[in-house]
Amino acid sequence: MRTYEAMFLLDNTKAGDWDSVVGQVQGILKRRNAQVTSVEKWGERKLAYPVKGHRRGTYMQVYFEAPAGIISDIRRDCQLLDAILRCLILKVEKRPETAVQQDIQQSPSSTRIEEAIPPERSKGDSL
Q: How do residues 25-78 score in pLDDT, each as one tens digit? A: 999 999 999 999 999 998 899 999 999 999 999 999 999 999 988 999 999 999
pLDDT tens readout for residues 100-113: 666 666 655 444 43
In sequence order, the 6+-apart residues with CB closer than 8 A to the CB of 54 are 11, 12, 47, 85
In sequence order, the 6+-apart residues with CB closer than 8 A to the CB of 10 are 21, 57, 58, 59, 60, 83, 84, 85
Domain 2-116 CATH assignment equals 3.40.630.10: no
Residue 10 CA to residue 36 CA, distance in Å, equals: 18
pTM of the model: 0.71
* Domain locations along the chain: 2-116
Nearest partner of 64 among 32, 41, 101, judged by Cα: 32
Residue 71 CA to residue 56 CA, distance in Å, equals: 27
